[in-house]
Amino acid sequence: MSYLIVLVLLLGVVLVVTQPLRRARDAVRDPDAGRAASELLDLGAARDAKYREIRDAELDHETGKLSDDDWLAIDSTLRSEAVEILRELDRVSGPIGTRRADGV
Amino acid sequence: MAQLGRAILLLGLGVAIYGIAASLYGARGGRADWVDSGRRSVYALAGLMVFAFALLEIAFLRNDFSFTVVASTSSTTIPVFYKLTAPWSSQQGSLLLWVMLSSFWSSAVLFLTRRRLREIAPYATAVLLGLGGFFLALAAFAANPFDTVRVAPVNGAGLDPLLQHPSMMFHPPMLYSGYTLMAVPFAFGIGALITGRLGPEWIRDTRRFALAAWLFLGAGVVLGARWSYTELGWGGYWGWDAVENAALLPWLCITAFIHSVQIQEKRGMLKVWNVSLIALSGTLAVFGTFLVRSGVLDSIHAFGASTLGVPFIVLLGVMVATSIGLIVARRDQLRSEHRIDSLLSREAMFLFQNLVLVAMAFVIFWLTLFPLISEVITGNKVAVGPPAFSEVVVPIALILVLLMGIGPMISWRRATVANLRHNLSLPIAAGLVTLVAAALLTDAARRPYALVMFALGAFVVAGVLQELYRGARARRAATGELWPLAAVALVRRNRRRYGGYTVHAGFALLLIGVAASSSFQSSTDVVLTPGQSTKLDGYTFRYVRPTASASAAKLEFGAVIDVTRGGHQVQTLWPRRGYYPSTDTSDGPIGRFFDNTNADTTVGLDAGFLNNIWAVGNPNLGPLAPEINRGNQLFSADIDTIEARTARLSVAQQNAALAPVWVLRNDVVEALVRQYTQHRWPVEFQLLVFPLISWMWAGALIMVLGGLIALWPVPSLGRRRRQLAADRARLALELAAELEPVEASLADDRQVVA
Write the ipTM. Answer: 0.74
Residue B212 half-sphere exposure toward CB, CA atoms < 13 A = 19
pLDDT (tens digit per residue) in B162-176: 788 887 888 889 999
Are residues A104 and B717, on separate chains, in Cβ contact within 8 Å?
A: yes
Residues 15-74 of A with CB under 8 A from B: 16-21, 23-25, 27-31, 34-35, 37-39, 41-46, 48-49, 51-57, 59-60, 62-67, 70, 74
Question: Chain A contacts of B117, Cβ < 8 Å?
Answer: 38, 41
Minimum-distance CB partner of B266 among A18, A53, A64 = A53
Residue B281 pLDDT exceeds 60: yes
Minimum-distance CB partner of B419 among A35, A67, A82 = A67
pLDDT of residue B420: 84
> Among A41-45, B7-11, B355-359, which is the least confidently predicted range?
A41-45
More confident site: B585 or B694? B694
Q: Which residues contact A21 (CB under 8 A, 6 or more apart)?
A: B33, B34, B37
Distance CA B323, CA B186 (A): 9
Distance CA B659, CA B362 (A): 61
More confident site: B688 or B117? B688
pLDDT of residue A24: 63
> Among B202-216, B327-341, B443-457, B720-734, which is the least confidently predicted range?
B720-734
Residues A46-52 have a mean pLDDT of 86
Minimum-distance CB partner of B494 among A42, A59, A83 = A59
Residue B441 pLDDT exceeds 70: yes
Are residues B199 and A6, on separate chains, in Cβ contact within 8 Å?
A: no
Q: How far is CA B331 from CA B185, B306, B334, B591, in A?
A: 19, 39, 5, 67
pLDDT (tens digit per residue) in B309-328: 788 899 999 999 999 999 99
pLDDT-derived band at B371, boundaries 50, 70, 90: confident
Under 8 Å between Cβ of B337 and A81: no
Distance CA B424, CA B418 (A): 10
Percent of chain B at pLDDT exceeding 90: 51
pLDDT (tens digit per residue) in B616-665: 999 888 888 899 999 888 888 888 888 888 888 888 888 888 888 888 98
Minimum-distance CB partner of A37 among B15, B48, B118 = B118
Distance CA B502, CA B495 (A): 10
Are residues A28 and B51, on separate chains, in Cβ contact within 8 Å?
A: no
Question: Chain B contacts of A83, Cβ < 8 Å?
Answer: 735, 739
pLDDT of residue B724: 62
pLDDT (tens digit per residue) in B255-269: 999 999 988 888 888
Residue boundaries of the structural domains of chain A: 2-92
pLDDT of residue A101: 45
pTM here?
0.86
Per-residue burial over B266-281, b if 16 or more Cβ lie within 10 Å, else e, is: bbbbbbbbbbbbbbbb
pLDDT-derived band at B235, boundaries 50, 70, 90: confident
pLDDT (tens digit per residue) in B444-476: 888 999 999 999 999 999 999 999 999 999 989
Rounded to 5 degrees, what angle do the CA atoms B74, B77, B79 make? 80
Of residues B52, B463, B204, B421, the one with CA closest to residue A51: B204
Q: Which residues contact B343 (CB under 8 A, 6 or more apart)?
A: none
Question: Chain B contacts of A74, Cβ < 8 Å?
Answer: 411-414
Would you give the distance in Å from CA B28 to the centre of its chain? 38
More confident site: B721 or B52? B52
pLDDT (tens digit per residue) in B141-169: 988 999 998 888 877 787 888 788 887 88
Q: Got the DSSP string for B643-711? A: HHHTTTS-HHHHHHHHHHHHHHHHHHHHHHHHHHHHS---EEEEEEEEETHHHHHHHHHHHHHHHHHHH
Cβ atoms within 10 A of the Cβ of B595, count?
A: 17
Distance CA B505, CA B512 (A): 11
Residues B81-105 have a mean pLDDT of 90
Distance CA B533, CA B541 (A): 5
Nearest chain A Cα distance for residue B124, angstroms: 15
Residue B745 pLDDT exceeds 70: no
Cα Rg for chain B, rounded, in angstroms? 30
Are residues A79 and B40, on separate chains, in Cβ contact within 8 Å?
A: no
Under 8 Å between Cβ of B456 and B462: no
Query: For residue B442, with 0-12 CB atoms within 10 Å meaning exposed, 13-18 middle and 19 or more buried, which class applies?
Result: middle
Would you give the distance in Å from CA B650 to the centre of its chain? 51
Minimum-distance CB partner of A65 among B40, B415, B734 = B415
pLDDT of residue B459: 96
Are residues B734 and A79, on separate chains, in Cβ contact within 8 Å?
A: yes
Distance CA B200, CA B274 (A): 12
First and final CA of chain B: distance in angstroms?
84
Phi, psi (rounded to 5 degrees) for B139:
-65, -35
Q: CA of B41: which chain A residue's CA is closest?
A: A17
Question: Chain A contacts of B717, Cβ < 8 Å?
Answer: 104
pLDDT of residue B46: 95
Question: How many CB pairs lie under 8 A apart between chains A and B?
Answer: 167
Phi, psi (rounded to 5 degrees) for B606:
-120, 105
Are residues A63 and B410, on separate chains, in Cβ contact within 8 Å?
A: no
pLDDT (tens digit per residue) in B284-300: 999 988 887 776 666 65
pLDDT of residue B597: 79
Distance CA B628, CA B588 (A): 9
Distance CA B514, CA B520 (A): 10
pLDDT-derived band at B725, boundaries 50, 70, 90: low
